[in-house]
């Protein structure tokens, strides 16, 4: 293991502070000007470097950031990424990494399974590290609140990995909705082609030998210990298990609901009902499919709104589907005949409909088409990222440039925004703990249900010893 000994001599700017108390992105006002050393620039430690974490690490490096340390519980994954960054120190335990070289880095990326996001990111933020964390921001509702509060307290730059936020198309769609082009929106429908991993199953019996390259204790992290079973949890299928993932809703809603949530300020639902709810299977996995309904009150001049979520092949009713382009209706017909599942988002307004078939909200259509023939988007009110590249690269540019103090608007999916988005979404998983059709009344300020106290134990978790936050 190699250890870097040079210490950078500058501080990053804070992008979190400018959005304190706002609850949705409204621009940021970084506090500290980055004074870049003449000898070296920003350095990062990357936690989780396989799969999405592999691209997160590479994309941060593309922005001129020195990768000083790599951390992954899987030694084979770690060694593979190390070939790209041979000078980086290697670790399998992020606690050890932050203790040993935390004072030598400015940025920490967190691209691990959901259940370890907060354990890693909060520890790093308390060391005043700027954080890029994958979606959903956290495993639990209380952790999302803690991440937001900690970012504000420490004044660090933050960004959640819902890269659609950095797309011009999403930002334009938000402007279109806010301009009143489709009128008052009282219904939102979002459906997902997830899950694409096993759900609706119980825990397997027995155990398998732990691979020599895998640190199983560190993979389990804050969750309750369980035996290793090959292919059940590591390295992909963890999303379906309630101890580690957040199911289809947690996986995709930070992408697919991002645009309507931002445009309509869909924060803090007052109630959530699982309309179709096979329930948490044996207390272990999320159901294979579900349908949820979130209720939002009037807010800042916007009318009350109901948000419907569908996963596992569930779809909106035929009346809504009939409003979509004919080409997409054919895809729905194919899905109903056993074909490939679709994803989509529909906002129903008093003057028309906005439809996005893009998981990231980057493409949209105004319907019916004849009513919007010749329509011109409203005057721009949200900034556009000047960097040219894919959505992932654009978001990393936005993050790193904000840390450097070179991008005045700051990160749009900072933890003030991302924390509230994640809180809102994860209330839906509480509804899956209740019976089908059971309406959970939700107090967002106090993070608890007022009418079904039994679900409140799932707002937070008791951390395994040694992994407390």
pLDDT-flagged residues of the chain (< 50): 1-39
Q: Are residues 28 and 149 in the same domain?
A: yes
What number of residues does the chain have? 469
Task: Please give the model's pTM, rounded to 2 decimal places.
Answer: 0.92
Q: Are residues 288 and 405 in the same domain?
A: no
Tell me the sheet residues that pair with 45: 69, 108
- 3-state secondary structure at position 261: helix
**What is the CATH number for 298?**
3.30.360.10
Count how many Cα atoms sit within 13 Å of the Cα of residue 246 in the half-sphere of its side chain. 31
Q: Are residues 105 and 150 in the same domain?
A: yes
d(CA 65, CA 408): 19
Q: Are residues 290 and 424 in the same domain?
A: yes
Q: Quick check: is 468 in a domain? A: no
Region class of 127: left (phi > 0), else alpha (psi between -120 and 50), else beta: alpha
d(CA 350, CA 352): 6
What is the model's pLDDT at position 40?
59
d(CA 394, CA 410): 13
**What is the CATH number for 64?**
3.40.50.720
Buried b (16+ CB within 10 A) or exposed e, 224-245: eebebeeebbbbebbbbbbbbb
State pLDDT tens for residues 19-68: 333 334 444 333 333 334 323 599 999 999 999 999 999 999 999 999 99
Q: Quick check: is 210 in a domain? A: no
Q: What domain range includes position 449?
A: 166-199+233-384+419-458
What is the model's pLDDT at position 92?
98
What is the model's pLDDT at position 11?
33
- Nearest one of 309, 293, 305 to 264, comparing CA atoms: 305
- 3-state secondary structure at position 249: helix
The end-to-end CA distance of the chain, in Å, is: 27
Residue 452 CA, chain-centre distance (Å), reads 27
Give the residue carrying structure tokens 């009037």: 298
d(CA 359, CA 76): 31
Q: Quick check: is 214 in a domain? A: no
Q: Quick check: is 1 in a domain? A: no
Q: Are residues 125 and 36 in the same domain?
A: yes
Q: Are residues 171 and 193 in the same domain?
A: yes
d(CA 441, CA 336): 33
Integer angstrom CA distances of residue 119 from 230, 394, 413, 469: 25, 27, 20, 6
Q: Quick check: is 284 in a domain? A: yes
> With contact defined as beta carbons under 8 Å apart, do 49 and 59 qualify?
no
353-356 and 158-161 beta bridge pairing = unpaired
d(CA 73, CA 81): 13
Q: Quick check: is 217 in a domain? A: no
Q: Are residues 284 and 339 in the same domain?
A: yes
d(CA 243, CA 239): 9
Peptide bond just before 235 cis, omega within 30 deg: yes
Q: Are residues 97 and 41 in the same domain?
A: yes
Residue 110 CA, chain-centre distance (Å), reads 12
Residues contacting 6, CB < 8 A, separation 6+: 39, 40, 104
Q: How many domains are contained in the chain?
A: 2
Residues contacting 348, CB < 8 A, separation 6+: 185, 186, 187, 188, 189, 320
> With contact defined as beta carbons under 8 Å apart, do 158 and 16 qualify?
yes
Q: Are residues 33 and 112 in the same domain?
A: yes
What is the model's pLDDT at position 17?
36
User: Environment class of residue 202 by beta-carbon count within 10 Å: exposed (0-12), middle (13-18) or buried (19+)?
Assistant: exposed
d(CA 164, CA 114): 19
Q: Quick check: is 446 in a domain? A: yes
Q: Are residues 330 and 402 in the same domain?
A: no
Q: Quick check: is 4 in a domain? A: no
Q: Are residues 90 and 190 in the same domain?
A: no
- Nearest one of 311, 303, 308, 116 to 222, comparing CA atoms: 116
Q: Are residues 176 and 277 in the same domain?
A: yes
213-216's contacts with Cβ under 8 Å and 24+ in sequence apart are 213/74, 213/75, 213/76, 214/73, 214/74, 214/75, 215/73, 215/74, 215/75, 215/92, 215/93, 216/73
d(CA 13, CA 142): 27
């Amino acid at each position: 293991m190699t250890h870097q000994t040079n210490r950078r001599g500058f501080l990053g700017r804070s992008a979190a502070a400018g959005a304190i108390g706002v609850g949705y992105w409204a621009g940021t006002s970084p506090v500290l000007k980055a004074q870049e050393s003449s000898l070296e620039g920003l350095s990062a430690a990357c936690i989780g470097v396989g799969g999405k974490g592999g691209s997160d690490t590479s994309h941060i490096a593309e922005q001129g950031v020195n990768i000083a340390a790599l951390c992954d519980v899987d030694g084979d994954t770690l060694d593979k990424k190390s070939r790209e960054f041979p000078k980086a120190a290697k670790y399998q335990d992020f606690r050890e990494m932050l203790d040993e070289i935390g004072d030598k880095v400015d940025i920490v990326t967190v691209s691990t399974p959901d259940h370890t996001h907060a354990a890693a990111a909060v520890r790093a933020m308390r060391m005043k590290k700027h954080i890029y964390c994958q979606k959903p921001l956290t495993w639990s509702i209380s952790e999302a609140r803690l991440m937001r509060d900690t970012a504000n307290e420490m004044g660090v730059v933050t960004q959640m990995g819902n890269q659609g936020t950095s797309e011009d198309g999403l930002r334009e769609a938000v402007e279109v909705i806010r301009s009143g082009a489709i009128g008052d929106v009282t219904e939102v429908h979002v459906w997902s082609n997830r899950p694409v991993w096993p759900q609706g199953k119980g825990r397997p019996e027995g155990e398998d030998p732990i691979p020599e390259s895998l640190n199983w204790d560190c993979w389990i992290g804050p969750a309750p210990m369980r035996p290793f079973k090959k292919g059940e949890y590591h390295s992909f299928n963890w999303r379906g298990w309630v101890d580690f993932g957040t199911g289809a809703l947690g996986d995709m809603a930070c992408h697919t609901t991002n645009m309507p949530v931002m445009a309509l300020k869909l924060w803090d639902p007052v109630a959530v009902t699982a309309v179709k709810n096979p329930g948490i299977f044996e207390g272990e996995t999320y159901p294979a499919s579900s349908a949820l309904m979130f209720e939002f009150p009037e807010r800042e001049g916007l009318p009350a709104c109901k948000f419907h979520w569908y996963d596992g092949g569930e779809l909106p009713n035929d009346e809504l589907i009939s409003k979509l382009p004919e080409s997409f209706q054919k895809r729905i017909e194919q899905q109903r005949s056993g074909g490939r599942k679709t994803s989509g988002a529909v906002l129903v307004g008093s003057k028309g409909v906005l439809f996005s078939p893009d998981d990231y909200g980057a493409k949209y259509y105004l319907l019916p088409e004849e009513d919007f023939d010749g329509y011109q988007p409203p005057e721009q009110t949200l900034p556009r990222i000047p960097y040219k590249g894919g959505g992932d690269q654009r978001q990393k540019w936005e993050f790193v440039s904000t840390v450097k103090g070179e991008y005045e608007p700051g990160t749009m999916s900072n933890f003030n925004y991302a924390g509230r988005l994640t809180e809102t979404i994860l209330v839906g998983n509480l509804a899956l703990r209740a019976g089908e059709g059971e309406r959970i009344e939700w107090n967002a300020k106090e993070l608890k249900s007022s009418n079904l106290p039994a679900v409140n134990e799932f707002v937070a978790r008791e951390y395994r010893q040694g992994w407390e936050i």
